[in-house]
Structure 1
């Protein structure tokens, strides 16, 4: 099922300013960067090129527009799996409240809630 804590999303006011902070002031490296439309990117930074866990620098306003119920005042945790379908099916089998499995330009993912209603995301990383 879950292999690692993969990504922690930091909701930021300006992606380029956040990238500059993490790379220039914290000495992190850009692990992945890809356009997600005309005004937004998927940006991941980490402490080194070899580190698996990254921060995703996600635009607050874009998230509010995509999903108004998402809290952008605290980080969002993304868990990692190498087999998204098996993980999704096993969690459903175990009685976990899971949302629809989605295919995004940057990979397959789904969200789920814990016993207190806290939301997490599982993403496939191969």
Structure 2
């Protein structure tokens, strides 16, 4: 029935800052960007052009104004890599706030924060 995760919405304080973080510090690409009225745009980023799943970077204040009942708390997101040490070092070089690189019985991983202080987990797929 469901065979892919399509989009994950991240509610951000500033779309331009979020775009800069994901594209300049984590090497994501802009997959889609289009105005949605006078004060907002639809903005999707992903790890590559060929990747299906994207993050929609949505302005949390505009969402709360449109629908006050919307929960704009940050979702729990686990991203994947095949080379955790390289990803860890590259993020540190790019000025990303990273946690300790953990070597757990079920895999290596570390946490990192985006421009708004939201926390993510990067795990090595083996």
The normalised TM-score by structure 1 is 0.58
Q: Are the counterparts in 2 of residues 28 and 47 from structure 1 also a CA contact under 8 Å?
A: yes
**Partner Cα distance (1:62, 1:76) in 2:** 22
Deviation of the 1:76 alpha carbon: 9.2
1:1-126 → structure 2 map (5 Å cutoff): 1-75=1-75
Q: Deviations over 1:77-117 (max 9, x none)?
A: 9xxxxxxxxxxxxxxxxxxxxxxxxxxxxxxxxxxxxxxxx
Q: How many residues get paired?
A: 77
Q: 1:76 to 1:58 in 2, by over 3 A?
A: farther
Gaps of 5+ in 2: 78-126
Distance 2:28 2:15 in 1: 15
RMSD (Å) for aligned C-alpha atoms: 1.7
SS at match of 1:4: coil
- Structure 1 residue ranges (4+ consecutive) displaced by more than 3 angstroms after TM superposition: none
More relative contact order in 1 or in 2 (CA 8 Å, sep 6+)?
A: 1
Alignment CA distance shift 1:57-1:27 (3 Å): same
Do 1:11 and 1:75's aligned partners in 2 also have CA atoms closer than 8 Å?
no
Q: Which moved more, 1:11-20 or 1:66-75?
A: 66-75
Gaps in structure 1 of 5+ consecutive residues: 78-126
CA gap 1:52/1:3 in 2 versus in 1, 3 angstroms: same
